[in-house]
Amino acid sequence: MPPAKSSFVCLPCRASYKQPGGGSPERRCPRCAGALIGVGAAFQPPRRRDTAAWRALSVLLNAGVRFHMGCCTGSGYRPRTLREVKERMVLAKRTGEPYAGVLVREHLYE
């Protein structure tokens, strides 16, 4: 059985690559030779021209949110627009919750 593939992202190039999950911990982008970020097997990249979606994705990745496969639900909710990210960041500041927890919550109930 072949090894499972996971997605890796280069934020400056706005590119995503599927590669085998094991192996070297440090992976390099084929375009710019920058470090790739492991994002998980359930990741669906935005279109390269969608700069707002890539900005929202960079906030998620910098907060430590990843897209690992769940048993039957996939990776769960992830905000796709900057507006959704900003709403959740305001809630996190107001409540004192960690950013990563608020960003993956589907509903903004307090």
| Local confidence band at 73 (pLDDT 50, 70, 90 cut-offs) | low
Instruction: Quickly state the pLDDT bin for 51 (edges 50, 70, 90).
Output: very high
Asked if residues 107 and 87 have their Cβ atoms less than 8 Å apart, the reply is no
pLDDT band at 74 (very low <50, low <70, confident <90, very high): low
**Taking residues 45-51, what's their average pLDDT?**
93
Q: How far is CA 42 from CA 5, 32, 76, in A?
A: 10, 24, 9
- Neighbouring-strand partners of residue 15: 10
pTM of the model: 0.79
| Choice between 4 and 89, residue whose per-residue pLDDT is larger | 89
pLDDT category at 9 given cuts 50, 70, 90 is very high
Identify whether the C-beta of residue 7 lies closer than 8 Å to the C-beta of residue 17: yes
| Tokens describing residue 67 | 């897209």
Main-chain dihedrals φ then ψ at residue 36, nearest 5 degrees: -90, 150
String of b and e for 78-90 (b: at least 16 CB within 10 Å)?
bbbeeeebeebbe
